[in-house]
Structure 1
Amino acid sequence: MRLLKDFFHLFYPKLCTVCEDKLVANETTICTLCRHDLPLTGFLDYKNNKVTQTFYGRILIEKAFSLLLYRKKGSTQKLIQDLKYKGNEEIGLFFGNWLGAILKENNEFKTIDYIVPVPLHPKKLRERGYNQVTKFGKTVSKHLEIVYLENYLIRISSAKTQTFKARFERFNNIDTKFLLTHPSFFNNKNILLIDDVITTGATLEACAKEFLKSKNCTVSILTMAYTE
């Protein structure tokens, strides 16, 4: 079997998602050089950083963390777009393992009861075939030994893709709505909402508002990237 794999990779080598150079042994998804060049946010305070500040005066967020800075035409954008639009779900696994290891070590989210992804509208899910944060969330949940919970938070309106909209238009988009199917289930629970990228925070705010309708429920946020 090993010989067969080596033969296959000889003719179909795995390439780095960022630079497209051939990956060597023990490298997955991204080569070592590109990984070292990724723009880390460097957030040390999980309660007071640029993500939590995004929601000041809008909604109460307990803690938040994003791993990378998202910049136009940068390496983070390349990774997220390949994950989201080119079916490269291995990127979600890569970030899930990276962030899972960080969070397991620092215990910042040790009180979380459930990890919940920002859902896609059923129509969008059928078109794409997958939610881009599913493998990311499930991998983080394994590291932290926290239940990954789908289908309780649902998207009940289908907004057009926000990727190429101006920041002001995204902030003022009121077409996207969410519904928590069993609010009482989350009474006295601590929720970790996950998504790929946070820009204005409008989508995550709408999701968080649903959970905060539950009695004594708290919401924290985790994303792969944060837009400067």
Structure 2
Amino acid sequence: MFRFIRTLSVDFINLLFPTLCLGCNRSLDINEKLLCTHCRINLPETGQHRQPYDVTLLNKFGGKVPIEFVASFMYFSKAGIVQKLIHQIKYKGQKEAAKEIAEWYGSQLKAESDLIQDIDVLIGVPLHKSRQQQRGYNQADWIAEGLAEALGVPARTDLLIQKRFKESQTRKNRIERWQNVNTVFAVPNPEEIRGKTVVIVDDVLTTGATIEACAIELLQAGCKSVGVLTLAATHR
């Protein structure tokens, strides 16, 4: 009887305050989560982690820093569903969505890819303290946490820090982006990563300047190798 009443209460609440799809804003059915079935099926997944490994994203770094691998879950395009998802995650408080989607991706990686073998630790691209206080959270840390749960690999938030504030990268070109992030990051305790295989995690990979700056600091601090996983990436 109690279970029946609880079910009715949940249904009534959902009727008054329906959960909406983060992609199309349609009311979700009871068995749908975050995205409606149509949006979930039509996510522009890259499939880059599958064999043979697609090195398209690795070419973004063009030999400037020795990155072992780069893979993203989805392709990012302006006004597309992925941009809507990232906007919700970064600016609308949808941190749990970041973790959930990262778990989807982590499950694929674990089942279908050799890229994630021998990973020691996942590190989200850090935010400056003032930016994180303003936003309330770092979306990259939540993405890393979702991947960590799916992959069974620890995620750490204390191994890499942003030591000075950087401006938004959104309207900057490649050179301006690099100038904006150069010397921004630091490894406070190098002994914690020395000899380890580290994977940098972020929401969107565009030019790669921010991740490049993070990788340089980690490698100089003595980590064995650096890989990159992101929820999304631009085509170029």
Query: TM-score, normalising length from structure 1?
Result: 0.93
Name 1:115's counterpart in structure 2. 122
Tell me which of 31, 41, 47 is aligned to 2:36: 31
Q: Deviations over 1:69-117 (max 9, x none)?
A: 1111111111101110111123202311211111111342020000111
1:207 aligns with 2:183: no
Aligned residues: percent identity?
A: 36
Q: How many residues align?
A: 228
Partners of 1:156 and 1:187 lie apart in 2 by: 20
Tell me which of 154, 162, 166 is aligned to 1:159: 166
Amino acid at match of 1:66: S
Name 1:60's counterpart in structure 2. 66
Q: Deviations over 1:94-141 (max 9, x none)?
A: 311211111111342020000111000000001000001222211211
Q: RMSD of aligned C-alpha atoms?
A: 1.8
Distance 1:88 1:46, change over 3 A: farther
Name 1:18's counterpart in structure 2. 23
Partners of 1:137 and 1:174 lie apart in 2 by: 21
Partners of 1:225 and 1:29 lie apart in 2 by: 17
Q: Is the 8 A contact 2:103 2:150 kept in 1?
A: yes
Deviates more, 1:89-98 or 1:22-31: 89-98
Partner of 2:233, secondary structure, is strand
The aligned runs of 1:103-182 (5 Å cut-off) are: 103-106=109-112, 107-166=114-173, 169-174=176-181, 177-182=184-189
Distance 1:111 1:207, change over 3 A: same
1:41 aligns with 2:42: no
Partner of 1:136, secondary structure, is helix
In the alignment, structure 1 segments of 5+ residues that lack a partner are none
Q: Is the 8 A contact 2:199 2:229 kept in 1?
A: yes
CA shift at 1:55, angstroms? 1.1
Distance 1:152 1:215, change over 3 A: closer
Q: Is the 8 A contact 2:202 2:229 kept in 1?
A: yes
Distance 1:175 1:212, change over 3 A: closer
Amino acid at match of 1:203: T
Name 2:190's counterpart in structure 1. 183
Q: Is the 8 A contact 2:181 2:210 kept in 1?
A: no
1:75 aligns with 2:81: yes
Partners of 1:73 and 1:227 lie apart in 2 by: 13
In the alignment, structure 2 segments of 5+ residues that lack a partner are 1-5
Runs (4+) of structure 1 exceeding 4 A deviation are: 45-48
Deviates more, 1:169-178 or 1:28-37: 169-178
CA shift at 1:171, angstroms? 4.5
CA shift at 1:33, angstroms? 0.5
CA shift at 1:168, angstroms? 5.5
